[in-house]
Structure 1
Amino acid sequence: MSRKTIAMELISWTKSLGIAFVLALIINIFVFEMTGVDGRSMNPTLNHGDRLFAIKTNQIFKSVPKYGDIVIVDGNINKNRTIIDEAKDSAIISTILRRKNMDFLIKRVIGVPGDTLEIRNNKLYRNGELIEEIYIFEEMITEDMSIRIPDGHVFVMGDNRNDSRDSRDIGPIPLKNVRAKVIIRLYPFNKMGKL
């Protein structure tokens, strides 16, 4: 093989790899992402080290998550997220740069726009009705509160209510900060399945 043929082959492979990388990055920014659970705030539903597959339906269709959906949110609610932020925070770029956005939280949607949420005597009420929460880790021990969820926001909480940084601390999450809906647990393999 001549040097020219080898060079042409290398250029062809480099172009193909570059196109594949750009396509993977676009899909990761706009369509889906894989992420890991860091911490205990979603116990017992999710555990530290679980690997998850999430789809970005909210970003694609501007939809409001449903009650009970497990979502990935950006807890920095005062920052106006841009496409550059999405690119920097994508799993691919984060892995390359070896950095992780510590404001990303995995939580359960408890309230949607227009809802009134109340916590009284460590029980959660939505629009005046007690919510039966079979998924929580243990009985919640927290201060009483009452909040009406504004338009364009959701209220999220961890399933491990006594060890969770969530909307009780940071406030309702703007829909633009809801990055993805968790669909499947991929790892550990013995717990693989739809959430």
Structure 2
Amino acid sequence: MKNILKTIIDWGITLGIALVLSLTMRTYVAESRWIPSGSMLPTLQVGDRLLIEKLSYKLTDIERGDIVVFHPPATSEFKDDMIKRVIGLPGDTVEINEGTVFINGKPLDEPYEMEKPADDFSPHKVPPGNIFVMGDNRNKSYDSRFWGTVPVNLVVGKAVVRYYPLKNVEIIK
């Protein structure tokens, strides 16, 4: 009877430690996400599974070109977290003219975009503490052009690895 009780206690302690470690990792370090829509095509496919890293933005600034997961701003009317590419940083002026995205009056090199944006977008200055995000599938993405900038405090983390499907495993640049 003592051996059974000792085994149960050992397993309970092991499972408790595993649960605490798992919850700590998911809350503060990294978590898994999946892509529900085609707004990030061709970079990310519907159904891709990604690892989202949460620590770097506590130590460094968000950079243009990062793919970020964020809680939706109230102006978006969405409830689920979103994933988009950072186009404009605080203080930048973002504009779209004849299919070209301009940052501070200079055209942005965007080898990742699926197609050029069909609509123009008047110059918009990104406020301090905010970012301007867009999907790579510009004409099928609901993003900052429609509901405004994203406060940096809503950013959950940065997409760093696609781990599924296995044939497409890669580090996300």
Query: Given the alignment of the two structures, is residue 33 of structure 1 paired with residue 31 of structure 2, yes or no?
Result: yes
The runs of at least 4 aligned residues of structure 1 exceeding 4 Å deviation read none
CA contact (8 A) 2:65 2:85 kept: yes
2:31 counterpart SS class: strand
Q: How far off is 1:42 after superposition?
A: 0.2
CA contact (8 A) 2:69 2:81 kept: yes
Structure 1 match to 2:145: 168
Cα 1:146/1:139, change in 2 over 3 Å: same
Matched AA of 2:67: I
Query: Given the alignment of the two structures, is residue 104 of structure 1 paired with residue 102 of structure 2, yes or no?
Result: no
1:135-194 Cα distance to aligned partner (Å, 9 max, x none): 111121124222111111111100001111111122111111111111111111121111
2:127 counterpart SS class: coil
Higher relative CO (Cα under 8 Å, sequence separation at least 6) belongs to: 1
Aligned length, in residue pairs? 170
- Normalized against structure 2, the TM-score is what? 0.91
Inter-partner Cα distance in structure 1 for 2:122 and 2:47: 32
Gaps of 5+ in 2: none
Structure 2 match to 1:83: none
Given candidates 69, 74, 95, the residue that maps to 1:72 is: 69
1:92-114 Cα distance to aligned partner (Å, 9 max, x none): xxxxxxxxx94311110101111
CA contact (8 A) 1:71 1:106 kept: yes
Structure 1 match to 2:115: 138
Equivalent pairs: percent with the same residue? Answer: 39
Structure 2 match to 1:10: 8
